[in-house]
Structure 1
Amino acid sequence: MIKKIDLAAIPKPTDAEIKAYYQNEGKKDSNLKDLAPTVESWAKHLGYQTSFDLQQNDFCTSIHADSDCLQSLLYPKDLETRM
């Protein structure tokens, strides 16, 4: 029997979120939207567990209640590319 496992991507930050993220870090406004945080640092900022230990994620449970889900440390476009 084949079991379906969904992979959830980390939501990519908007320009406004990037600006707010770096202002919280104490950086100046110049070209902040061009400096997207790494997916790992953005995931930590959003409260995701970034260790390599596999744990069931509340986000996956609420979105995919009828299937298993693994949280990836990839933005949606990067996840699609690897699939």
Structure 2
Amino acid sequence: MIQIGKITIYVEDQEQAKDFWINKVGFVLKFEQPMGPGMAWIEVGPENDFATLVLYSKALMKKQKPENVAHPTLLFSTPNIEEAYER
């Protein structure tokens, strides 16, 4: 089965965004890993849900691929890509 895995949101301040989604919305921190000075890969989401929001640095994305900043990114997930492709 194909399902939504991750939705990337480009944010000005990752820590502020993380605080908002966890403390105001009630999501939980699903994953966090440093990616260099002042940058981390941060995923939040509902506690019992597979899908997560990736809180990605807008400044970093502007350097990497500026045309993507205005559009969130949606990633699908499946346990068997070959089977999904054949369908």
Q: TM-score, normalised by structure 2?
A: 0.29
Query: Which protein has the bigger helix share?
Result: 1
More strand by share: 2
Higher relative contact order (CA 8 A, sep 6+): 1
Q: Which TM-score applies when normalising by structure 1? A: 0.30
